[in-house]
Amino acid sequence: MGAGHGHVLYRESDSPVHRLPPEVKIVAMVVFTLAVVATPREAFWAFGAYAVLVAVVAALARVGPRWLLSRALIELPFVLFAVALPFLGSGDRVEVLGLRLSEDGLHGAWNILAKGTLGVLASLLLAATTTTRDLIVGLDRLHCPQVLTQIATFMLRYLDVLVGEARRMRVARISRGDDPRFLWQLRGFAAGIGALFLRAFERGERVYLAMLSRGYTGRMPAVWQGEGAASAGQWLVAATVPVLAASIAATAVVLS
Amino acid sequence: METLAMHISNGIIDGPVAAIFAALALAGLTACVLRGRRDLDDRLAPMAGLVAAFIFAVQMLNFPIFTAGVSGHLLGGALAAMLVGPWVGALCVSVVLVVQALVFGDGGVAMLGLNITNMALLGTAAAYLLIALMLRVLPRTRAGLAVTAFVAAMLSVVVASQGFVVQYWLGGTTDLGSNLAGLAGTMAGTHLLIGIGEGLITATTVLTVAKVRPDLVYALRSLRTPTTPAVPVSGGVR
């Protein structure tokens, strides 16, 4: 673990968005998402405006559109759900390309597609510009209960422990003559899943006891030392995005 | 086609219902934080972290379900309830969901309340009630423990999936009319299959842990006679 507490989605960079304190980014992202969800689905222009906002932030954070879009595929399952809605929905039917589709279903599909995609893009931007360690520091500064931040801290650290132990066990299996290919790898993995859990736990427990003996009390030093907490200016800068989004949502509600 | 990943993304359920469930989830989590704080001692803290990490990793594994053309993933509520108890267990699953929503965009942030209610609260509560009941009824053998873990995991997944159906019935953004029963059926069917996979993984993991470090299994704590010393260490950890 040592040096990099980054994660797969983190993009090392030094953009203005990266430099913002994490708590500010979390609040901005949550407010933006809430504004998007509160927007009436018939206000098509509003979703265009949100997309422009996302694009501007992405450009500021130096995150390329290809990177963003390829990782947004995670919402594919719900896109499939959205595609099914025009066929399943009840109510008025409209003729589209020779198919009789439910109008309500079509609106619903658009609703899921637009709001889902914008939400995914917003969280990907947060992930790309914030390390997981900073994320937890941010949650702690936002007064998230310490039990939760503690579990989250250990979870993110133990993920690496788990992956490392799984790799070691695989090497051990192979060096003892196991020759896993394709799907049969799964069998060896499934048989050893209990052992993997125990090994990872005992390793993690040693780490935890070592931390305790060095004065760990449930919070990481970065939090209680209070360095790098957001200044009023940074809050103002980051507030631009959610405030813009909220005013778009308010306008859309008033107009509809 | 409608089940897939259980994380509800933005726009599937309407705002008021999402807000109600967010309040519900917040209340549930507050209770869990208050009770969980008491449970979280030196042994449970790293365990809770590992259980969360394990659930996080396992949720990445998707079971393809060929008959329905969909895939779903494990929830881990039963594993958490078994190893760290219902309160901390629900917190573990919630942490996984929060991090996935914030960082990976899996499940909309505005829908977090719904997701937490389904998977963290409903799933873990159902699992723990079953565990508590079955451990009293079944013989205290390895087989009894295995059956308990398997059944609790399987049924908790189905219960959690029906939570989504109720939420969709209350506030789905598209009126499915009579197709709602179909949605409930598909959800129950696919998640029964997911539940079998989840049950197998939960049972193997719990059995291994119970064999080597029975002190780590929360669900077995209350059943042990108080005179037994609590730390049968093996593996030279401490």
Q: Which of A37-41, A200-204, B162-166 has the highest mean pLDDT?
A: A200-204
pTM: 0.79
| DSSP string across chain A | --S----TT------HHHHS-HHHHHHHHHHHHHHHHHS-TT-HHHHHHHHHHHHHHHHHTT--HHHHHHHGGGGHHHHHHHHHHHHH--S-EEEETTEEEEHHHHHHHHHHHHHHHHHHHHHHHHHHHS-HHHHHHHHHHTT--HHHHHHHHHHHHHHHHHHHHHHHHHHHHHHTT----TTHHHHHHHHTHHHHHHHHHHHHHHHHHHHHHTT--SS-HHHHT-TTPPPHHHHHHHHHHHHHHHHHHHHHHHH-
Which of A113, A127, A155 is nearest residue B56 as measured by Cβ atoms? A155
| Digit-coded pLDDT (tens) for A72-128 | 766 565 566 666 666 655 555 555 555 656 666 677 777 777 877 888 888 888 888
Q: Give residue A193's pLDDT.
A: 80
Question: Are the Cβ atoms of B103 and A127 closer than 8 angstroms?
Answer: yes
| Digit-coded pLDDT (tens) for A129-164 | 888 778 888 888 888 888 888 888 888 888 888 888
For residue B175, give the DSSP letter. Answer: -
Which of B1, B11, B71 is nearest residue A116 as measured by Cβ atoms? B11
For an interface test with A, give the residue of B95, B178, B206 to mutate (most A CBs within 10 A). B95
Q: Give residue B223's pLDDT.
A: 61
Q: Would you place residue B237 in the very low, low, confident or very high pLDDT band (cuts 50, 70, 90)?
A: very low
Search chain B and give the residue with CA nearest A209.
B42
Question: Are the Cβ atoms of B174 and A107 closer than 8 angstroms?
Answer: yes
Percent of chain B with pLDDT over 70: 77
Quick one: fold of B15-221?
Answer: Arp2/3 complex 21 kDa subunit ARPC3 (1.10.1760)
Which of B10, B105, B178 is nearest residue A74 as measured by Cβ atoms? B105
- For residue B32 the two structure tokens come to 């869990």
Search chain B and give the residue with CA nearest A74.
B106
Q: Where does residue B76 rank: exposed (0-12), middle (13-18), buried (19+ CB within 10 A)?
A: buried
For an interface test with A, give the residue of B9, B194, B196 to mutate (most A CBs within 10 A). B9
Question: Are the Cβ atoms of B49 and A151 closer than 8 angstroms?
Answer: yes
On whether the CB atoms of residues B106 and B7 are closer than 8 A, the answer is: yes
Question: Are the Cβ atoms of B103 and A132 closer than 8 angstroms?
Answer: yes
| Digit-coded pLDDT (tens) for B77-100 | 888 888 888 888 888 888 888 887
The domain spans of chain B are 15-221
ipTM above 0.85, yes or no: no
